[in-house]
Structure 1
Amino acid sequence: MKKSLLALAALGTFAGVAHAQSSVTLYGIIDEGFNINTNAGGKHLYNLSSGELQGSRFGLRGTEDLGGGLKALFVLENGFDVNTGKLGQGGLMFGRQAYVGLSGQFGTVTLGRQYDSVVDYVGPLEAGDQWGGYIAAHPGDIDNFNNAYRTNNTVKFTSANYNGLTFGGTYSFGGIAGNFTENQIWSLGVGYNNGPLALGGGYLNARTPAASGGLFNNGGTIATNTPATALAAANYAVASPVYVGFSSANTYQVFGLGGAYTFGAATVGLTYSNIRFGNLGKTFASPYAGQSATFQNAEINFKYQLTPALLVGAAYDYTRGTEINGASRAQYHQGAVGVDYFLSKRTDVYLTGVYQHALGETLNAAGDTVDATAAINNLTGSSNQNQFTARVGIRHKF
């Protein structure tokens, strides 16, 4: 009898182990196309480029059911250039995402390299994250809506979905010997998506963003055709002339809001962001050391599903810079249009065009006042106030 009971207990143990379910999925995106840039530092540029509509990538994601509603999970996601095969995000093996965590009935806690709350809750409402790609993002992706920068050493909480309402936050451990707040990053966000209405709000705060290991300098997204001289400027990873002169700030913060409403086949969206570079001149000499600069950005976007396979979109974006010591405010007017045709659920072809016009004055990498020039996101900046780029591409998901 005792032997029978022991056998049943052993069988029960093995049955419990067998009941625990786990899965690992290999996934990815290959996005490749042909670009035309009318003014890349004063010259026309025609080239192939990788990952415009979405960054080319492959990754592994997995879950394990631990019982009682608790799951373990992980994501390892790599970015790469289709044309050369080289790693993206500054050569990092898993530069897009790399994290592990636990998920339960109240939400998910993860640890590793991750996206901040502005990216999660507001970014999906801008045109660049929908049909426009990175060239349709706000100038220089100054508000990080298009995920130019990721956060290392991050603890992240994402709530469960409460009838369309979600919220969360991140905290990225910075710190060097004698300075706990160096490179520290934190963010908060909230979103609502129910029926035709989608809303999102987020806040991001990064200390010493241009320092080694800071938000701007930890494997961000940099255009493959950006001149080496720009990358060697005082603040590596900030190649955009829109705000390279302000990235010496001790604190970078973004407050963003967005909303979209769908009626029938059409969707109209709005986003707003306030970007502040506080206490300029910490990491390099600047005549404006100690001052702060504020940029404001507003976008209206529209998309229409002509057929289940054909989507068209249009957007207008306006960025207004700060006035420092009498210099006129830099302004950037940007328009974008796009067409996306799905050959299947996993493969589509697309055409995107973006035009930008700049006005006023801004700061260069040395902190000098210069005329603002057009600078479409992630492309080599224009030599004058105007820039136009067009792309035709193909994207395949697996």
Structure 2
Amino acid sequence: MNLKRIAVLIVVALELRLAGQAHAQSSVTWYGILDEFVGYQSTKVAGKSTTLVALGNNGELTSRWGIRGSEDLGGGYHAIFDLESGFDPGTGAVQNAYRFFDRQAWVGVAAPHGEVRLGRQNTPMFAWSGNLDAFSAATYGSGYNNFANWLGRVDNDIAYISPKLYGTQVELHYSVGGQVGTQAGNAVYQAGVQSNIGPAYLALAYLNAANPTNSARVQEIMAGANYDYGWGRLYFGFFRANDIISATTGNALANPAGKYNPATGVVGNVAGNYHNTYSFSADYRFSPFLSVGAGYAFITDSSSLNNTAREFSAIVNYDLSKATRLYAVVSRLNNSNTAQYKMTGASITTGAFLTPDTGQSEAGTQIGIRHLV
């Protein structure tokens, strides 16, 4: 029996034991998401017109399972934790073979004046990006997600999350670099604020990540808003990043500082130019169950390559229940000069998307289903 199977059996046994011991002052919840789609993409690859039809995963949300819990410690204090693992429902394989709980793995204390969490955690940029896009910053259709390259989660992260005050909440994060003789090497610093003001939602987040020698830094800023006009929402998203983490010829799948996949290495040491992503989208609710949306996004490149791109998309969502949704997406992405941006969805695995030749356009369609457990 391999270590992965042993880990699964241990987690299941612990969950069942805790569930049996649960009482009014503590709780343990098992949760999950299943997301599968049939996708079609068309572009030029190696000079030839190429199409791809694939059964893919993680179109609108990343498939995952997790365990979260809370224990009442008295006086308004609670011990809290969350363990979350991504997987591919098409094959049953774990999303990332190099770590079991690849999404989140943290423990902390919630108090009247906020929460303190320790461990692997989502970044505010990742957690809030879906609020700034009619495509929830996912699917082939999200130009916001396809062009921007925010860091999704961070290891060894110490976070403070404030309580909401007049609809406003602040997050502060510091990821310990773990480098001998330096506190700055490989460290990640984050700050963010989100606010609900009547029908409007606003968000602003900043990230600064260093390489192990602190000789180069990734800097990212995300800002945006949405506005509920009664029958739907209007969305705006902005993202700016220096070019240390993504080639000026296309969007990268790896993340900075070796924090996501150790095999991809760390932040480079060549100072880069900046990319700015702008996203405009809206949706309309025909009923509580049926909505449609459309969007336009583009990216600018401050380097001499001037590798810009733009994307037009539309989406239909139909909720069969509170837990189950059908979705359909059509999209077209146009690259300029030698840009090679592609449609990558939420966290689609290799084989479910195409990378176009330099300067080539790409068309995509998805029909999918997601289920919340």
Give me the identity figure in percent: 30
Which whole-Å CA distance do the structure 2 matches of 1:395 and 1:20 have between them? 32
User: Are the counterparts in 2 of residues 354 and 388 from structure 1 also a CA contact under 8 Å?
Assistant: yes
Which whole-Å CA distance do the structure 2 matches of 1:102 and 1:116 have between them? 18
Which whole-Å CA distance do the structure 1 matches of 2:322 and 2:75 have between them? 35
Which residue of structure 1 aligns with residue 224 of structure 2? 258
Aligned residues: 324
1:68 to 64, 75, 89: 75
Q: What is the deviation of 1:27?
A: 0.6
Which whole-Å CA distance do the structure 2 matches of 1:396 and 1:153 have between them? 31
Render the CA deviation track for 1:160-198: whole Å, top value 9, x for unaligned: 011211111111111323443232111100011132110
Render the CA deviation track for 1:331-373: whole Å, top value 9, x for unaligned: 010112100100111111110122110113xxxxxxxxxx223
1:269 corresponds to 2:243: no
Q: 1:44 to 1:63 in 2, by over 3 A?
A: same
Which residue of structure 1 aligns with residue 274 of structure 2? 294
1:1-398 map, 5 Å: 21-39=25-43, 41=45, 42=48, 43-129=50-136, 132-133=138-139, 136-138=142-144, 140=146, 142-144=148-150, 149-208=152-211, 250-277=216-243, 290-323=270-303, 327-360=304-337, 371-377=338-344, 379-384=353-358, 385-398=360-373
Q: What is the deviation of 1:274?
A: 1.6
Which whole-Å CA distance do the structure 2 matches of 1:153 and 1:79 have between them? 19
- Where 1:138 maps in the other structure, the secondary structure is helix
- Where 1:119 maps in the other structure, the secondary structure is helix
Q: What is the deviation of 1:138?
A: 2.9
Render the CA deviation track for 1:223-276: whole Å, top value 9, x for unaligned: xxxxxxxxxxxxxxxxxxxxxxxxxx9211111110111111121111112211
User: Are the counterparts in 1 of residues 148 and 239 from structure 2 also a CA contact under 8 Å?
Assistant: no
- Where 1:307 maps in the other structure, the secondary structure is coil
Question: In the alignment, residue 32 of structure 1 is paired with which amino acid?
Answer: E
Which whole-Å CA distance do the structure 2 matches of 1:280 and 1:158 have between them? 29
Q: 1:206 to 1:62 in 2, by over 3 A?
A: same
Q: 1:289 to 1:157 in 2, by over 3 A?
A: closer
Q: What is the deviation of 1:91?
A: 4.1
Render the CA deviation track for 1:285-337: whole Å, top value 9, x for unaligned: xxx974421011111110111111001111110100122xxx33110101121
User: TM-score normalized by structure 2?
Assistant: 0.80
Which whole-Å CA distance do the structure 1 matches of 2:175 and 2:89 have between them? 31
User: Are the counterparts in 1 of residues 131 and 225 from structure 2 also a CA contact under 8 Å?
Assistant: no
User: Are the counterparts in 1 of residues 39 and 367 from structure 2 also a CA contact under 8 Å?
Assistant: yes
- Where 1:124 maps in the other structure, the secondary structure is helix
User: Are the counterparts in 2 of residues 175 and 181 from structure 1 also a CA contact under 8 Å?
Assistant: no
Which whole-Å CA distance do the structure 1 matches of 2:147 and 2:286 have between them? 29
- Where 1:127 maps in the other structure, the secondary structure is coil
Which whole-Å CA distance do the structure 2 matches of 1:380 and 1:139 have between them? 16
Q: What is the deviation of 1:141?
A: 5.0
User: Are the counterparts in 1 of residues 216 and 271 from structure 2 also a CA contact under 8 Å?
Assistant: no
User: Are the counterparts in 1 of residues 71 and 78 from structure 2 also a CA contact under 8 Å?
Assistant: yes
Q: 1:297 to 1:19 in 2, by over 3 A?
A: closer
Q: What is the deviation of 1:20?
A: 6.5
Which whole-Å CA distance do the structure 2 matches of 1:135 and 1:296 have between them? 18
Which whole-Å CA distance do the structure 1 matches of 2:371 and 2:246 have between them? 43
Which whole-Å CA distance do the structure 2 matches of 1:106 and 1:133 have between them? 37
Q: What is the deviation of 1:108?
A: 0.7
Render the CA deviation track for 1:202-222: whole Å, top value 9, x for unaligned: 1011112xx7xx9xxxxxxxx
Question: In the alignment, residue 389 of structure 1 is paired with which amino acid?
Answer: G
Q: What is the deviation of 1:142?
A: 2.8
User: TM-score normalized by structure 1?
Assistant: 0.75
Which whole-Å CA distance do the structure 2 matches of 1:280 and 1:45 have between them? 25
Render the CA deviation track for 1:45-98: whole Å, top value 9, x for unaligned: 111011110000111010000010000111001100001111113542111111
Q: CA RMSD, aligned part only?
A: 2.9
Which whole-Å CA distance do the structure 2 matches of 1:139 and 1:32 have between them? 19
User: Are the counterparts in 2 of residues 349 and 394 from structure 1 also a CA contact under 8 Å?
Assistant: yes
Which whole-Å CA distance do the structure 1 matches of 2:145 and 2:168 have between them? 30
Q: 1:90 to 1:389 in 2, by over 3 A?
A: farther
